Structure 1
Amino acid sequence: MHLWQLRELGNRLNGSTLLGLAIARLGGANMKRGPRGMFVAEGYRLPFPLAGAFTVGDVVITPTDAPTLTGRHREMLAHEEAHAWQWFALLGLPFLPAYLLAMGWSMLRTGDRASANLFETLAGLERGGYRTRD
């Protein structure tokens, strides 16, 4: 068993991957299998959240496609996979309020949703296409 298979199983059991698949379907995205048990949902059409990509469970959801996404930021999928591990570590849905608190803290501290967001920092700001603001 590979370590990522533990994450994959955990995110299925905690319901976060199922939630991600439902959000992707609701947004009209086309599903593909990605690396290490991830799904990539391409062509997401809903206007929220405003992001080049976001991850729910083991599902990376993007309004573009994987080649465009990784063309802009080569390590974007590794950044998003780190978020999948965060969903696993927080046992699914508790990730959402924790992430929102971290984003709020970052906005208050830096005026940017990512620069002081613990989850984005741990996933690698540069890998996710973010710049650090003080």
Structure 2
Amino acid sequence: MSDPFVQEFEQGRIDAKNRANKRNGSTALGLLVARIGRCRITRGPRGMWLADRYRFGFPAAGAFTVGSVAITRQEWPEILEHREWLLRHEEWHSFQYQRCGGLPFIPLYLAACAWSKLLTGDHWSRNRFERGAGLAIGGYTEHSMRSPLRVFAGRRGR
């Protein structure tokens, strides 16, 4: 993958992020979500928790992260073998949890999804968190912004 977000992190930065996400409660919430979703939970690379076989349809994503817990409906061993870069994308989200102080990331992320949906018709193209985690390594294709007139005209026509 040629995405600039596929990079190695310094171990000190990784450790600080994982400690912060443990303290701010976001990793605990991630482990709870994984348990409720009846996931298999294992330790992954760089201190991440990997939860797979998630049973629910929400959120509608190939993988998602809560704190330092990366959750997927698929199986992490297969993902790591064929698409290791996806974990890098999720790991960037775990750094975003740290920067947002933990759980405030969730409403901020949802607001960014709504903003992107308004501007582009999808939840990722103008979502600052998805862009910050690397759209390409998250498996996203960037869409252009709608013209402001089309956005408002589309709402009135319904």
| Structure 1 segment 38-77 matched on structure 2, within 5 A | 38-70=48-80, 73-77=83-87
Q: Choose the corresponding residue for 1:104, options 114, 123, 146.
A: 114
> How many matched pairs?
134
Name the TM-score, length of structure 2 as normaliser.
Answer: 0.81
Q: Which residue of 1 aligns with 2:4?
A: none
- SS of the residue aligned with 2:60? coil
Structure having the higher Rg: 2
Task: Specify every segment of 5 or more residues in structure 2 that has no aligned partner in the other structure, as ranges.
Answer: 1-10, 145-158
Name the TM-score, length of structure 1 as normaliser.
Answer: 0.95
One-letter amino acid matched to 2:139:
G
For residues 34 and 112 of structure 2, the distance between their equivalents in structure 1, rounded to whole angstroms, comes to 24
Q: Choose the corresponding residue for 1:78, options 88, 102, 119.
A: 88
Task: Determine what percentage of the aligned residue pairs are the same residue.
Answer: 47
Are 2:52 and 1:30 aligned? no
Q: Choose the corresponding residue for 2:17, options 7, 18, 22.
A: 7
**RMSD (Å) for aligned C-alpha atoms:** 1.3
| Structure 1 segment 94-133 matched on structure 2, within 5 A | 94-133=104-143
> How much does 1:3 deviate?
1.4
**Runs of at least 4 residues of structure 1 off by over 2 A?**
67-74
Task: Specify every segment of 5 or more residues in structure 1 that has no aligned partner in the other structure, as ranges.
Answer: none
